[in-house]
Amino acid sequence: MSSSVRRTAGHGTYANSEFWKLRAAGYNKLEWATRSDYLEWFLAHGDFKPTDVVLDAGTGTGVVAHAVAPLVTRVIGIDLSLAMLSQALDTKHNNEEFVLEDIRSLRYPAANFDKITARMVFHHILTDTVHAVRECHRVLVPGGRMLLSEGVPPHESLKAWYREMFTLKEERLTFMPQDLVNLMQQGGFACVSLSTYVLPQVSVRNWLENSGLPQPKQNAIMRMHVELDGAGQKFYNMKVLQDDVLIDMQYVTVLGVKASVK
């Protein structure tokens, strides 16, 4: 592993580090992760300034960090997967640093960052989820912003199906939009706002082929999509093709602001 990744004492990789190693290999081929429309929409909430110091939580292969770096003074990307961080180093900017770090126990002093980004991260934080947000709140300067974005089921009626489908892939949390607002408020943020973005006609096959999953699980997940009832297919604006399924993926970004000191 390159010495450009700084390690913090007392933190290792996820218990399922082999899974993350497999995911890292194909992560930058994922359509949803690299499409500029979702990325630009997410970052538009940041109001980034040239003087900003930014923490990119759950940086993965550095997609968000790399996009933010030209806009600010410094970006620190943290993740619990060395395999992901090694990918981030491939196109590292001079003002970026990547650290093996747990968002639930940040080694930074209070009021250290102007902005925090966390895109498609919190569904992986199965324990101490609220505490993770509180840690983000702690290290932000007063008036600082946190952007948290997650994929959500396109309708409440699909929540159980969504959870069952993802169980075939990994253990994760399933959020509805209000859950994310509540999470930010419980973490101490004020001025929480929510906006929704629909990423149109994303390939399920692309997602599965770059997921690191064994073929039987890929087949089972694809079958669940093909066999989804008519109402569910309508909510996804689904198109079933001969060898693929295209769906509209729904994302929510919640913006939380740390209250300024009075």
Residue 204, in any domain of the structure: no
Distance CA 36, CA 198 (A): 13
Residue 209, in any domain of the structure: no
Residue 67, in any domain of the structure: yes
Residue 60, in any domain of the structure: yes
Tally the domains of the chain. Answer: 1
Name the residue among 13, 46, 209 with its Cα closest to residue 114: 46
Residue 39, in any domain of the structure: yes
Residue 145, in any domain of the structure: yes
pLDDT band at 190 (very low <50, low <70, confident <90, very high): confident
DSSP secondary structure letter of residue 71 = G
Give the β-pairing of 53-57 and 74-79. parallel
pLDDT band at 260 (very low <50, low <70, confident <90, very high): confident
- Residues 6 or more apart whose CB falls under 8 angstroms from that of 168 comprise 217, 220, 221, 224
Global confidence as pTM: 0.91
Summarize pLDDT for 133-170 with one digit per residue, the tens.
999 999 999 999 999 999 999 999 999 999 999 999 99
* Helices (H), ranges, the chain: 17-26, 31-34, 36-43, 63-68, 82-88, 129-139, 159-167, 177-186, 204-209, 215-226, 230-235
Residue 231, in any domain of the structure: no
Q: What is the mean pLDDT of residues 185-189?
A: 96
* Helices (H), ranges, 104-149: 129-139
Task: Decide: residue 119, CB within 10 A, 0-12 exposed, 13-18 middle, 19+ buried.
Answer: buried
For 106, the domain range is 5-152+173-198+250-257
Query: For position 111, which CATH number holds?
Result: 3.40.50.150
